[in-house]
Structure 1
Amino acid sequence: MKKNTGCDSRHGCPPQLSCDQAKTIRVDCDNDSFYPYGNYLKYPVADIPVSLAEVELQVEVESDIYLPTAAREIKHMRRNVSLTQCKAIRSAMDYNKVKLYITGVVHKNIQYVEQCSGVLKDFSVDVPFTCSQAVKVFNYPDYENLSQKNTVYERRFIDKKGHGADNCTSGAFTYEFYNEPIECKLLASFVNDLDLYKDFDNWGRFSRITEKMEVGLYFKLLQTQQVDLGYSYGDKAEESCESGPKMEHHSKSMRERLSEVINRKDY
């Protein structure tokens, strides 16, 4: 029996587990080469991170912080913001927008005293927050290609007697597109908060802080896209030993080439 590896986020995304491994009998390979999907072959084309939009996001958070011991006075409080998740998908309702799913924490380091004199106590706590928003983009994400994983068009053969399907032979045609994800790059943040001291004891010391925070996030939405850089090495892409053959039209994109295979009448 295989060991249960679980899904521990500290170790990243685990691989897909299989129940068994098939014995490969034969593998044949073939290939074809195409010009990059841009202009002529001599025109530079690059895969680069494209900024879709710069986003300002406001998050309002209210939380309770319980101190390990009662405090007479807060001497210092430090705040740091970090994102633990920033996922984005293109909206199916409005292609000018992407849906953002944000999760983060405000890390607070609190230093306080318990009495009029004595040692300085140090306490750290994370205040989590999460929100989802529809965000307008100005450079559009690449068209998202969906995959066909389940068998819809099954390949069957007639049996040797010609009386029905051969139950010992079958096949199918499935395909997968591997889309570039939309990434987040956090540029800046701020915390604008109000601290309310509560749960006082008979000596005027408090043990609970109610936080009311406005958290501002400034980040970029990026996606790696194939971009035609828009300049050439020469004025003309003429056929010669130096410049190579002249291209009469644009090369087809990878999606267009695979779509031709998917839409063939044979399948």
Structure 2
Amino acid sequence: MSDKCDPIVIQQACEVTSTQQMSLHDEAIELQKDDRKPTFKVPVVLAERKIQIVVESDISLTPAATEIKRVTKNVFLEQVKLVPVRFKQIGHTDFFEVRRAKLYVSGFIRKNIEYSSSDCNGTLLDRIADVPFSGFAELTKDDFLVYPVIGISDSSKAQFLNDTNEMIPRLDKYFFQNLVKYNEQPYGELLGANFFELDFSPVMVEPEAAFSTLREKIVMDLYLKVLQVQQYKVHATRILPKFDEGTLGS
């Protein structure tokens, strides 16, 4: 065996071409401002509500479970509808502010249940279940950040006397007038949900024994917005960039 060490091979580094960057001059753009009163038609937040929903359900597990490992949840809204029940007329117009309403909410909680079975060295099983819910909340005038606006349609009818005998009406001649107002529909926007849940077998089982039904009691705090597209005139300042004078400058 030789006591000599292997020679060390030194590799040269690759050359890289670089360019030193120059400092560039910059300054704020001069702005040209003028006051305007534009009209905006935008979604307006009518109310922001936390609605508590309480549900109980039984979920079947096939194959049967011996232990629940994890449960994740999401909420899906299918309906957020505002039904007005109290109104206040806006001036002398045919438009009204809604001062009280029923807020109908429905949807489902999608649960993803991961559990183990009685199989030795078995795989982790998965069960997806949709738990429906529905109900309504009472919204009073103090619950609204901005009142919903609704226009009322109108229908009128005029009748006439007989052409030859002014003692009797004509039943074959009418004048009709219909005024129809099409309103912006209030709608909902999901913000979030907070779940409090208790899951258990409705029949107590021994350790390592299997159960095929999972009973759940869920308390869900549902956070949502109620909005309506409304039109507003506001005071605003229009801002345009101002460039240095060129050939078109004066």
TM-score, structure 1 as length reference: 0.62
Rounded to whole Å, the distance in 1 between the matches of 2:161 and 2:116 is 85
Kept in 2, the 8 Å contact 1:199–1:207? The answer is: no
- Structure 2: stretches of 5+ with no match in the other structure: 1-35, 89-97, 239-250
Q: Does 1:178 align with 2:182?
A: yes
Deviation for aligned residue 1:87: 0.8
Q: Does 1:145 align with 2:151?
A: yes
- For residue 174 of structure 1, give the secondary structure of its aligned residue in structure 2: strand
**Cα distance change, pair 145–190 in 1 and its aligned pair in 2 (3 A):** same
- For residue 230 of structure 2, give the secondary structure of its aligned residue in structure 1: strand
Q: 44, 50, 72: which is aligned to 1:50?
A: 44
Structure 1 partner of 2:20: none
Kept in 2, the 8 Å contact 1:200–1:207? The answer is: no
Question: Letter of the aligned partner of 1:193 in structure 2?
Answer: E
- Structure 1: stretches of 5+ with no match in the other structure: 1-41, 234-267
Deviation for aligned residue 1:92: 1.5
Deviation for aligned residue 1:113: 2.4
Q: Does 1:213 align with 2:218?
A: yes
Kept in 2, the 8 Å contact 1:198–1:207? The answer is: no
Kept in 2, the 8 Å contact 1:89–1:182? The answer is: no
Question: Letter of the aligned partner of 1:174 in structure 2?
Answer: N
Q: Does 1:132 align with 2:136?
A: yes
Question: Letter of the aligned partner of 1:125 in structure 2?
Answer: A
Q: Does 1:189 align with 2:196?
A: no
Deviation for aligned residue 1:229: 1.6
Question: Letter of the aligned partner of 2:222 in structure 1?
Answer: L
Rounded to whole Å, the distance in 2 between the matches of 1:159 and 1:96 is 47
Greater RCO structure (CA 8 Å; 6+ sep): 2
Cα RMSD for the two superposed structures: 2.6
Question: Letter of the aligned partner of 1:231 in structure 2?
Answer: A
Higher percent of residues as strand: 2
Rounded to whole Å, the distance in 2 between the matches of 1:155 and 1:56 is 50
Aligned length: 188
Structure 1 partner of 2:24: none
Structure 2 partner of 1:106: 109
Structure 2 partner of 1:225: 230
Rounded to whole Å, the distance in 1 between the matches of 2:176 and 2:190 is 44
TM-score, structure 2 as length reference: 0.65
**The 10-residue stretch of structure 1 (72-81 or 91-100) with the greater mean CA deviation from structure 2:** 91-100
- For residue 123 of structure 1, give the secondary structure of its aligned residue in structure 2: strand
Kept in 2, the 8 Å contact 1:197–1:206? The answer is: yes
Kept in 1, the 8 Å contact 2:86–2:99? The answer is: no
Q: For the pair shown, which has the larger CA radius of gyration, 1 or 2?
A: 2
Deviation for aligned residue 1:166: 4.2
Rounded to whole Å, the distance in 2 between the matches of 1:93 and 1:148 is 16
Q: 198, 201, 204: which is aligned to 2:202?
A: 198
Match runs of 1:53-92 below 5 Å: 53-92=47-86
